[in-house]
Amino acid sequence: MTRRLTYGMVGGGPGAFIGDVHRMAAELDGLAELAAGAFSSDAARSAAKGADIGLDPARVYGSYAEMADVEATRPDEERLDFVIIVTPNHLHFDVARTFLEADFHVVCDKPLTTDLGDAETLCRLVDARGHVFALTHNYSGYPMIKDARHLIREGRLGEIRRIQVEYFQGWLATPLEETGHPQAAWRTDPAQAGVAGALGDIGTHAHHLARYVTGLEVEALCGELTTFVPGRRLEDDASLLMRWTGGVRGTLTASQVAAGEENGLALRVFGSGGSLAWRHDDAETLWFRTPDGRAHARRRGHGWISPAAASASRVPPGHPEGFIEGFANLYRNVISTIGALQGGRTPEETDLDFPTVRDGARGVHFLDRAVESGRRGAWVDARYEPPGETAP
């Protein structure tokens, strides 16, 4: 990098959680700084957020459309390098399309969109414009997740047989949305969250994590989607049986009514020559077990872990890294890729170790198939190739 990149943010206004996380992560390595924002559809709230974080009032907007129009006309030395989208799900598509058409690179929170057709439109638009588009499945930025991916690609597990992934939270075990809690309200509203509740919010993370680590794709699934809290309009618990590429079997379980759970994401992968196990509550450790009963704890920060895991670590072992650093690793790769493209390199010459717009389309397709399976109570075909993707 020859200079610090500048970015804008859409969403993340007063009281929002994830916007501040993205801002801290994008700036953790000193490679980018926030220069503009449309933090809320309420102009006063947007202005308040801009003032709170010290932005120039002239670059704080009351709508993302105004932001795109004005920022696109700025001279090259003032122009934003990319835009981060941290709005509720139903706005992702139009915000992303607006900024892509205004020739900005985009980083978007998951899920990509609430409609598969919209997701595919973004795939085509990204290709046509030649822009970087990243989706922030931040758990793929964790060092020991990268180590797990490395071990599987090295063949250390032998033939993969089973994938078990789960994501348990308990914060929606009661009808929190009825109290006016803003995060609960939009996540349980189909008009804002889309077709899925717990699956859309956290199940998409579990789905992407399993795909990222194993390199496999879901071919068929059978799901049971349940709404435990009376009056809630979207599922708050889901259990899926899954068939993956090459005859691999597995399950995915996601629940936001698992009372007492905080952020219980876990992945296990079983092969003919060994197995891997990782839990978010001990994210520094990856367990590798062999058929003879030996168990080896691979720990972040040590010199013998894989190069990808080592490059995703910032501090020595014994100094925990986690949630924000996982985001920051994605942002570092995104920012480096944008810088490389601005320096004249082609996308094929850059490091694309971050979820892309096509990963996003796969996630939206996964949600559609899971909801359809739950509605029918039957197995459904889940095979999918996003527009422009070449089958392996």
Q: What is the mean pLDDT of residues 256-261?
A: 98
Domain holding 238, by residue range, is 143-315
392 located within any domain: no
Statement to judge: residues 249 and 300 lie in one domain: yes
Structure tokens at 371: 């909801």
Say how many C-beta atoms besides its own lie within 10 A of residue 124's C-beta.
Answer: 13
Beta bridge partners of 86: 11
Number of domains in the chain: 2
246: left (phi over 0), alpha (psi -120 to 50) or beta: left
pTM of the model: 0.95
Structure tokens at 214: 């194993």
Give the residue with greater pLDDT, 392 vs 362. 362
Statement to judge: residues 251 and 273 lie in one domain: yes
Statement to judge: residues 350 and 208 lie in one domain: no
Statement to judge: residues 160 and 286 lie in one domain: yes
Identify residue 59 by its one-letter amino acid code.
R
CATH number of the domain residue 227 falls in:
3.30.360.10
What is the spatial distance between Cα 13 and Cα 214, in angstroms, rounded to a whole number? 36
Statement to judge: residues 28 and 151 lie in one domain: no
* pLDDT of residue 348 exceeding 90: no
Identify residue 58 by its one-letter amino acid code.
A
What is the spatial distance between Cα 146 and Cα 238, in angstroms, rounded to a whole number? 27
Phi, psi of 33 (to 5 degrees): -145, 145
pLDDT tier, 255 (very low <50, low <70, confident <90, very high otherwise): very high
pLDDT tens digits, residue range 148-191? 999 999 999 999 999 999 999 999 999 999 999 999 999 999 99
Phi, psi of 222 (to 5 degrees): -135, 120
229 located within any domain: yes
Which residue in this structure is represented by tokens 């990149």?
Answer: 5
Q: What percent of the chain has pLDDT over 70?
A: 98
Statement to judge: residues 239 and 133 lie in one domain: no
Return the minimum-mean-pLDDT range out of 29-38, 49-58, 341-350, 380-389.
Answer: 341-350
pLDDT tens digits, residue range 26-73? 999 999 999 999 999 999 999 999 999 999 999 999 999 999 999 999
